């Protein structure tokens, strides 16, 4: 049992205080050390906010590099299993395997551009031309329904004139498009500049992808050699878990999206819905966004089905239900499993926050970014518990091991 400090010995008092588990955990002989660290961090943040213009070239550099790096990383995780198969099973040298993958990708891209893209382009133009009439017919059908239903007295009390609404609505839409086109015409120089930057970025993707496929697996080892020896084991675990998370997410999402696109297209073709292939492609791309993607994909299909016939809406509901059941019960569990261990509520919050901060890019990259941060945070918390337990004197007050926190969201 510790003895209280003597009143006349300040040195003994601080030596006893330094033996406290809390003070030892904080890293110094007194909390003054921690307070000075916090003050230093605050001063650094204040200085950075005052000289933020110095970091403008760095922001420009990252904004230029992010797009090709993200695309190259996605392609890297898609091609890496195939490259390993060529290298390990077929004994093809890595460089030749990369060249084979590049030729196959170029052939597939050429096939899509010359065979699939013109058809989808024609369907897209037709859909954009006819969609205002679909929307107008939907409003008229809803107006007729409310006027002939039990809600007619309430609906007529609003004095809603559907014809004036449609006229004013379409005039506003026309004015909006006119102003938008004028704005685009006035800013054509900046548009061409941005487009040129995007095209140049896309041309760098094959180069980045080649070096990722050739040297990507050596990159973690290079980083580990630069870290202090005491940190290498923990850093190696973080790299391994992060690689596993990103690989499972990218490969799983792409395969699930392709499966959804094929099923939706086949289902819509069976029920003879217009623009079946285009709606299937839309469902494939939007399914990359969890929960919100299916809502975006089904909206134009529902409008077309309602305008076509009530029976078409029933057939659409049956097809969409079958697709969702097959995807949720069979495809996703087999392909992705529960590799990310992210709660659905957490996914929704991440999508809303990332979308508000970074727009479409945030919605697409929010979930994998959160998965990476979760890996780092989980291991940081593990190290925190180990350090805390080392300075805690009562064993019953120890933190549990990391295995008990695997389901933390």
Q: How far apart are CA 14 and CA 32, in angstroms?
A: 12
State how many domains the chain has: 2
Angle between helices 94-111 and 188-215 (to 10 degrees): 140
In a domain, 148, yes or no: no
pLDDT in tens, 100-130: 999 999 898 888 888 888 888 888 888 877 7
pLDDT greater than 50 at residue 405: no
Q: How far apart are CA 86 and CA 175, in angstroms?
A: 57
pLDDT greater than 70 at residue 95: yes
Among candidate residues 245, 279, 249, the one with its CA nearest the CA of residue 262:
279
pTM over 0.75: no
Structure tokens of 43? 């001063």
In a domain, 4, yes or no: yes
In a domain, 100, yes or no: no
In a domain, 354, yes or no: yes
Domain with 25, as residue range(s), is 1-44
Q: How far apart are CA 254 and CA 285, in angstroms?
A: 9
- Least confidently predicted of 4-18, 35-49, 203-217: 4-18
In a domain, 239, yes or no: no
What burial letters (b/e) apply to 250-277, b meaning 16+ CB within 10 Å? bbbbbbbbebbbebbbebbeeeebbbbb
In a domain, 35, yes or no: yes
Query: Could you say which DSSP state residue 217 is in?
Result: G
Per-residue pLDDT band for 291 (boundaries 50, 70, 90) equals confident
In a domain, 23, yes or no: yes
Q: How far apart are CA 126 and CA 114, in angstroms?
A: 19
Higher model confidence: residue 24 or residue 84? 84
Contact (Cβ atoms closer than 8 angstroms) between residue 375 and residue 241: yes
pLDDT in tens, 301-343: 888 888 888 788 889 999 999 998 888 788 877 666 555 667 7
In a domain, 382, yes or no: yes
Among candidate residues 53, 70, 46, the one with its CA nearest the CA of residue 358:
70
pLDDT in tens, 222-244: 888 888 888 888 888 888 888 88
């Amino acid at each position: 049992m510790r003895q209280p400090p003597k009143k006349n010995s300040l040195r003994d008092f601080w030596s006893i205080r330094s033996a406290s588990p809390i003070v030892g955990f904080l890293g110094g002989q007194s909390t003054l050390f921690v307070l000075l660290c916090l003050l230093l961090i605050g001063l650094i943040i204040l200085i950075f906010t005052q000289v933020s213009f110095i970091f403008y070239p760095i922001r420009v550099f990252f904004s230029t590099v992010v797009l090709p790096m993200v695309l190259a990383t996605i392609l890297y995780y898609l091609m890496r299993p195939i490259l390993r198969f060529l290298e390990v099973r077929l004994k093809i040298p890595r460089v030749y395997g990369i060249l084979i993958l590049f030729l196959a990708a170029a052939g597939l891209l050429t096939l899509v551009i010359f065979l699939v893209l013109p058809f989808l382009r024609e369907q897209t133009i037709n859909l954009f031309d006819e969609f205002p009439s679909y929307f107008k017919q939907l409003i008229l059908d809803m107006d007729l329904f409310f006027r002939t239903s039990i809600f007619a007295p309430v609906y007529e009390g609003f004095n809603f004139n559907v014809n004036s609404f449609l006229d004013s609505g379409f005039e506003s839409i026309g004015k909006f498009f006119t102003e938008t086109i004028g704005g685009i015409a006035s800013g054509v120089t900046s548009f061409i500049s941005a487009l040129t930057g995007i095209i140049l970025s896309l041309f760098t993707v094959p180069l980045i992808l080649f070096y990722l496929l050739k040297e990507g697996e050596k990159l973690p080892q290079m980083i580990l050699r630069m870290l202090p020896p005491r940190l290498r084991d923990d850093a190696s675990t973080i790299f391994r878990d992060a690689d596993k998370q990103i690989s499972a997410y990218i490969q799983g999402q792409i395969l699930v999206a392709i499966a959804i696109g094929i099923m939706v297209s086949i289902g819509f073709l069976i029920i003879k819905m217009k623009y079946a292939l285009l709606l299937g492609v839309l469902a494939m791309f939007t399914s990359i966004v969890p929960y919100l993607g299916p809502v975006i994909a089904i909206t134009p299909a529902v409008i077309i089905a309602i305008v076509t016939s009530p029976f078409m809406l029933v057939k659409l509901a049956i097809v969409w239900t079958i697709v969702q059941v097959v995807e949720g019960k069979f495809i996703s569990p087999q392909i992705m499993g529960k590799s990310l261990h992210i709660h659905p509520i957490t996914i929704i919050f991440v999508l809303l926050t990332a979308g508000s901060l970074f727009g479409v890019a945030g919605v697409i990259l929010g979930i994998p970014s959160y998965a990476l941060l979760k890996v780092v945070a989980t291991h940081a918390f593990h190290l925190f518990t180990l350090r805390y337990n080392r300075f805690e004197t009562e064993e019953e007050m120890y933190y549990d091991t990391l295995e008990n926190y695997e389901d933390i969201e």
